[in-house]
Chain A
Amino acid sequence: MSMINYASREINCKIVYYGSGLGGKTSNLEHIYGKVQPDTRGKLISLATETERTLFFDFLPVDLGTIRGFKTRFHLYTVPGQVYYNASRKLILKGVDGIVFVADSQVERMEANQEAMQNLYDNMAEYGYDLTKMPFVIQYNKRDLPNAASIRDLQAALNPGWEVTEPSRQRLAPDPAHAGENLVEQVSTGEWVEHAPYFEAVAVTGDGVFETLRAVSKLVLKSLA
């Protein structure tokens, strides 16, 4: 639910980082907080337990620049990843403009990733939002770990694509971030499918963090155009 304030000349948008527990959502925000100029960001708010697990959310406001004289302010949120906290996780999705799903690449976290993805679809549906029609990107985090699954396996499990039924959109769309791959393509059964853009990351060192943020915020601004 973006809000355009003509009085203060600001466009405000909300981006939520979603995913299973200990996947690196908070690390994404911490890296952004540490890297952007202090005058373009606000305070990093964390509602966490004593063991630094997110209890309700983390929040970071950042300014990404000016378009047509309007300051673009992005409010970045993370949700608590643990299954137990679904009630509070759902609240954070209220009024969301764009989603980043942070997947933990480790093979043994595959099931937890899939559960979290299903939970995201379910919670969005309960608000009447259609995830396939809004700015949505996937980040495969922890790519540096030796037990990281292959991108191919992760894509097959978490981003197999949803069907594109509108004839006007049934045309090949190459993925600008990965040569030789497509965001919209026709599969062997003849159906057209669309995948969410994906990015590889190591959030603790910052690799891929800004690429992910740039991609989702660009999609959000384009959805307003």
Chain B
Amino acid sequence: MPVGSSSWSFTEDDFGAITGTLQRFLHDSNARCALLVDRSGQLVATVGEQPRFDPTAFSTLAAADFSANDQLAKLIGETDFNSLFHQGEKESMYLADVARRVILVVLFDNRTTLGLVRLKMKQTVDELTRLFEQVFARPTHAQGGSPGLLAGADDEIDKLFQ
């Protein structure tokens, strides 16, 4: 296992809890869609209206946006910006940090207001932070937990690249 690499995995139960929290949030805030993206740019979950854009590309750009803003924050003497808001004519998006590892991205239009989204988001971020802290606290196989998913799969990996 490479040093410094902190792989993580989540189960169907985690996924159920995460999407449940996000569905409640969408209902309460009247936002259209919520995406969870990990800091390295991978999409974790999408809830609400299915996006019409490419969600993989979107996740990469959202993570890059957040990382770039983190560095801007440091330059002006802040530790980070824990949320970002991008306003469009019809569509807007709000991004918030969850447990320093994941970004919650919410898309909304003029059926709701920034104030309501922001208000409901705070509670959701707290809930998600608790959920993700449990996920990250679980030992991975590298730390002596259960064996890795690909343990003993060397032959299969070789075959994939023949």
Which residues of A are interface residues toward B (Cβ below 8 A)?
1-7, 11-12, 14, 42-43, 45, 47, 56-57, 59, 61, 64-65, 67-68, 70, 72, 75, 87-88, 91-92, 94-97, 124, 127-130, 133-135, 214, 217-218, 221-225
B40 and A94 contacting across the interface, CB-CB below 8 Å: yes
Task: Report the nearest A residue to B1, measured CB to CB.
Answer: A223
Task: Give bound CA distance, A222 to B39, whole Å.
Answer: 23
Task: Give bound CA distance, A85 to B42, whole Å.
Answer: 23
**In the complex, chain B residues whose CB is within 8 Å of the CB of A11:** 149-150
Count of chain B residues near A, Cβ 8 A: 41
Min CB distance, B14 to chain A, in Å? 8
**Cross-interface CB contact of A88 among B12, B45, B68, cutoff 8 Å:** B68
6 contacts between A and B (CB under 8 A): A6-B11, A7-B15, A67-B153, A68-B153, A88-B68, A130-B2
| A-B contact number at CB 8 A | 141
Contacts known (A42-B56, A45-B60); A134 close to B10, Cβ less than 8 A: no
Contacts known (A7-B12, A133-B3); A94 close to B42, Cβ less than 8 A: no
B4 and A128 contacting across the interface, CB-CB below 8 Å: yes
**In the complex, chain A residues whose CB is within 8 Å of the CB of B11:** 6-7
Task: Report the nearest B residue to A220, measured CB to CB.
Answer: B2
Task: Give bound CA distance, A129 to B3, whole Å.
Answer: 6
